[in-house]
A and B are shown apart, each in its own frame.
Chain A
Amino acid sequence: MATLSTDFALPLRSFDLRLALDVERTVALVGPSGSGKSSALRAIAGLLRPAEGRITLDGEAWVDVARGICLEPDERRVGLVFQDYALFPHLSVRANVAYGGRERVDELLERFRISHLAKARPRELSGGERQRVALARALARDPGVLLLDEPLAALDVHTKAGVRVELQELLAGFELPTLIVTHDYEDAVALAGTVGVLVDGALRQLGSPEELVAEPRDPFVASFTGANLLRGRTVGHENGLTTVCLESGELLYSTDGADGEVGVVVYPWDVSVGRAHVDDSALNLVSGEVGSLVQVGNRFRVRVGPLTAEVTGASAERLELARGGTVFASFKATGTRLVPL
């Protein structure tokens, strides 16, 4: 499979976007809105002009500022799927797909199960259908790289889950270096094998979803991947345990080593909630009132003081009874990560 390599700087309104990245299979860039994700895709597609650096596909330079190379968008073999799909409203589905290339139109319509919509106009389609047309159109160009801008953001919650599964399967069959941009960490994890976290134009961390969850490099990555982040400072080291004093005055223990101002990172699924006080030096305890209780899939997210815990339905039922009362959230010292703040 080909490799897309980028190492460029693009001045944006309030910061410079710098992206050094090799895309072989599927990579997702996640970050809050305004972090420069879409601009990254536009720079690769040739719609924005980097101020310095290079963008190459298998050694072929698309951008090489030092050598004065910057190919026009139509000279790059790139398939860009826009956030709102940007289908041509005045053309039929078939004409939209054929706009990218006439050779494989029927095959693509077939493959994306939109043959029956060939004569329809984009406005008559559902969100999921529009996305399939946009993908088929991008592939009709026979691109060397596929770029997807927030592929699931334009869909409502009900269709999103189904389309996500569909997209997962399609992406697996493309065999193209693919770069996806999304603000939703869960989407990124579902669609890509490698995830990069982009904040203010800088790539904070790049790795597998597991790596990001297990070893977040900074607090933003930690909170973005869905982890709890408790702020405090280290007050001692003993028997391989670091003691952290939280802003609230509570003490926590971690098997990670760090010094000074730190964030204690713990994932909701590593936190259990009970009504009884457990005495165990290797166990962290945070007491608090039961706050919000939200169902996520077949589990419940419950708020205890500053922590979010993920519990089973049965425990949720028990906690429901305790709403307003004090409970104890506990997690192991080994289940925590310390990140310098």
Chain B
Amino acid sequence: MRRRLLAALFFGASALALLFLVLPVVALFTRVPPGRLLHLLSTPVVTDALVVSFKTTAIAQALILLFGTPLAYLLATRRFRGRTLAVTFVELPLVLPPAVAGIGLLATFGRFGLLGSSSRALGIDISFTQTAVVLAVAFVASPLYIRTAIAAFEAVDPNLVAASRTLGAGSTRTFFRVVLPLAGNGLAAGESLAFARGLGEFGATIMFAGSLQGVTQTLPLAIYAEFSVNFDVAVALGALLVAISAALLLTLRLTLSWRPSPRTSPSLFAPST
């Protein structure tokens, strides 16, 4: 009798939890009829936000890949003084409240910030521009990529790198022909995570870049701006983001099934935690 009661409790709790997660997503699509949803998506607020989001995300992710990959490789393969400190700083934005990230960016690049005077001398004011959106997204999203990339590079068997070198390949050729292909799936998984985080970025962006339609107003910011003005537009934007996120999750699921290269020797380094 008690066992049946316990089982019923488990099923009940599971059903409630699942329902709680499913309902808000479903609600986005049921509140507004599909035809009207498509119509709402063609309003200027939505299209502007889509363009801003697309542009800033593309630039921010390119920067993350371009600068994050070498950093991750270095942190994965070299042991040097201050490495732990560097890894800590890489991971810090993950746990930082977005508002703190926004304030930090303002205090750095803002008009009276750490680097503000030097950039003002060059005639550039970064805050409340699209550049600011890119920086905010890169700041909060890059740790997700770099962390995963470090793990992916660490999983590459150092003996394979050594084998490549003894077979006559220099370190550049070794990196592109052995290290990158073997770490590739892991890098893709990390990039998907960073992409998702960047697309949803809200707190740091609104503080550092503001919410100017067509300039710095990304999709999440547009939702916030619209929900007091035209709730249905906000819902349409929400539905759009759900669709993009679902597509992303699916690719992530597929790429996350990657396996690290089969290890043929104990790693020279302990994996970072």
A contact residues vs B (CB 8 Å cutoff) = 42, 45-47, 72-74, 76, 78-80, 82-86, 88-90, 99-101, 123, 137-138, 140-141
Contacts and interface: CB of A to CB of B under 8 A. Distances in A.
A85 B169 CA distance: 17
B131 to A, nearest CB: 38
Contacts of B182: 89-90
Contacts of B166: 45-47, 73-74, 76, 78-80, 138, 141
B82 interface: no
A80 B166 CA distance: 7
A78 B162 CA distance: 12
Interface stretch (B9-17, B53-61, B260-268): B260-268
A100 B178 CA distance: 13
A82 B165 contact: no
A100 B165 CA distance: 10
A79 B163 CA distance: 9
Contact of A100 (B167, B170, B181, B264): B167
Contact of B261 (A42, A89, A99, A140): A89
Ranked nearest first, the 6 interchain pairs of A and B with the lowest CB-CB distance are A84-B264, A73-B165, A86-B163, A86-B159, A80-B166, A100-B167
A88 B160 CA distance: 7
A86 B157 contact: yes
A142 to B, nearest CB: 9
Contact of B164 (A72, A76, A99, A140): A99
Contacts of B162: 42, 45, 47, 73, 80, 82, 86
23 contacts: A46-B165, A72-B165, A73-B165, A73-B166, A74-B165, A74-B166, A74-B167, A78-B166, A79-B166, A80-B163, A80-B166, A82-B163, A82-B265, A84-B265, A86-B157, A86-B159, A86-B163, A88-B164, A89-B160, A89-B261, A90-B181, A90-B261, A123-B262
Contacts, number: 68
A99 B265 CA distance: 21
A74 B169 contact: yes
Given A46-B165, A99-B167, 6 more contacts: A74-B165, A74-B166, A74-B170, A86-B160, A100-B168, A141-B167
Given A72-B170, A74-B169, A123-B262, A82 B164 contact: no
A259 to B, nearest CB: 46
A78 B167 CA distance: 8
Contacts of B265: 82-84, 86
Contact of A74 (B160, B168, B178): B168
A7 B264 CA distance: 30
Contacts of A82: 159, 162-163, 264-265
Interface of B: 157, 159-160, 162-170, 177-178, 181-182, 261-262, 264-265
A85 B264 contact: yes
B77 to A, nearest CB: 14
The main secondary structure of chain B at its interface with chain A is helix
A48 to B, nearest CB: 10
A319 to B, nearest CB: 44
Contact of B264 (A86, A137, A138): A86
Nearest to A83: B265
Most buried by A among B159, B166, B181: B166
A47 B181 CA distance: 22
Contacts of B181: 90
Contact of B168 (A42, A86, A88, A141): A141
A100 B167 CA distance: 5
A78 B163 CA distance: 11
Nearest to B157: A86
A54 B168 CA distance: 21
Nearest to B263: A84
Nearest to A142: B168
A89 B157 CA distance: 10
A72, A78, A83, A84 — most chain B CB neighbours (10 Å): A84
Nearest to A134: B163
Contact of B262 (A46, A73, A89, A137): A89
A140 B163 CA distance: 13
B168 to A, nearest CB: 5
A46 to B, nearest CB: 7
Given A86-B157, A86-B160, A101 B168 contact: yes
A84 B162 CA distance: 13
B111 to A, nearest CB: 50
Given A80-B166, A141-B167, A88 B262 contact: no
Nearest to B170: A74
A236 B177 CA distance: 69
Contacts of B167: 74, 99-100, 137-138, 140-141
Nearest to B264: A84
Contacts of A85: 264
Contacts of A88: 160, 163-164, 178
Nearest to B163: A86
A99 B169 contact: yes
A73 B157 CA distance: 17
Contacts of B178: 88
Listed residue (B178, B181, B264) with the most chain A CB atoms within 10 angstroms of its CB:
B264
Contacts of A84: 159, 264-265
A80 B164 CA distance: 10
Contacts of A42: 162
A325 to B, nearest CB: 48
